[in-house]
Amino acid sequence: MPKFAANLSMLFTEEAFLDRFKAAADAGFKGVEYLFPYDYTPAEIKSRLDANGLTQVLHNLPAGDWAAGERGIACHPDRVEEFRAGVDKAIDYATALGCKQVNCLAGIQPRGVSLEQARRTLVENLRYAAGKLEAAGILLLAEPINTRDIPGFFLNRTEQALSIFDEVGSANLKLQYDIYHMQIMEGDLAPTMEKHLDRIAHVQLADNPGRHEPGTGEINYPFLFSHLDRLGYDGWIGWEYKPATTTKEGLGWLDSVR
């Protein structure tokens, strides 16, 4: 069975953010991830990790104005300096938190920006970030996201992402493979993960439809977990789903799919 991390942006939201670390540890998690740490000081978060014996598995680079609907700026030609400043900020946090990988959200393709220009900007930004992060001992990830939940999201399919990675040309850039997003966009989950296992550094899960717990939808998670075990996947799997009721009531899904 793979090792699991609680996504604190989506789980235990009944608690204030800093209290979710204890809630995750009490539920048996050894690792945590979340969207962003930047509303808190590194010391505040590090104290919660240490107090609860948790590993910081993942967080994202700064992604623009999230409250206003921005979902990353890495494909925005007019935001390159802001993106680079965000890389430095992410390195400061990841270093302080002992986090060995950070994810880049490509963003929604801006109006008036061609597909080619957006791709070129993303390639250049990923190349810059991969180099900076490698020097700091941190792995860069990037994640395709479905265009039903986020219309216009630039990076939205596995092969597209890997083609861009090839153009970037850095060994310090890997795929964050979100099972929920890729079920919506392309399906064929098990063969895709097998084909590209050496390029996948992190996996996330939710069921479809609804983005709720595994077992509530169409995805065969018992098969996928066994499949990943057979393939020898040794990374984390982040529980990035919306509990159908409360977090605690929904945690029992794992027993039902073992």
Give me the helices (H) in the chain, please: 20-26, 42-51, 80-97, 115-135, 158-168, 179-185, 189-195, 221-231, 247-250, 253-257
Q: State the pTM of this model.
A: 0.96
**How many other β-carbons are positioned within 10 Å of the β-carbon of residue 220?**
13
Nearest Cα to 140, choosing from 129, 149, 150?
129
Q: Express each pLDDT in 18-34 by its tens digit.
A: 999 999 999 999 999 99
Q: Could you say which DSSP state residue 167 is in?
A: H
Give the model confidence (pLDDT) of 208-235 as tens digits. Answer: 999 999 999 999 999 999 999 999 999 9
Rounded CA-CA distance 74/65 in Å is 13
Residue 193's contacts (CB-CB under 8 Å, 6 or more residues apart) are 177, 200, 203, 224, 227, 228, 231, 233
Averaged pLDDT of the chain: 97
Query: 3-state class of 26 per DSSP?
Result: helix
Tell me how far apart the alpha carbons of residues 215 and 190 are, in angstroms, rounded to a whole number.
Answer: 17
Catalytic residue selected from 15, 82, 134, 143: 143
In the residue annotation, 143 being an active-site residue is answered as yes
- Collapsing DSSP to helix, strand or coil, 169 comes out as coil
- Give the residue extent of every domain in the chain: 3-256
Q: What is the pLDDT along the chain (258 residues), one digit of tens a residue?
A: 789 999 999 999 999 999 999 999 999 999 999 999 999 999 999 999 999 999 999 999 999 999 999 999 999 999 999 999 999 999 999 999 999 999 999 999 999 999 999 999 999 999 999 999 999 999 999 999 999 999 999 999 999 999 999 999 999 999 999 999 999 999 999 999 999 999 999 999 999 999 999 999 999 999 999 999 999 999 999 999 999 999 999 999 988 766
pLDDT tens, position by position, 178-210: 999 999 999 999 999 999 999 999 999 999 999
CATH of domain 3-256: 3.20.20.150
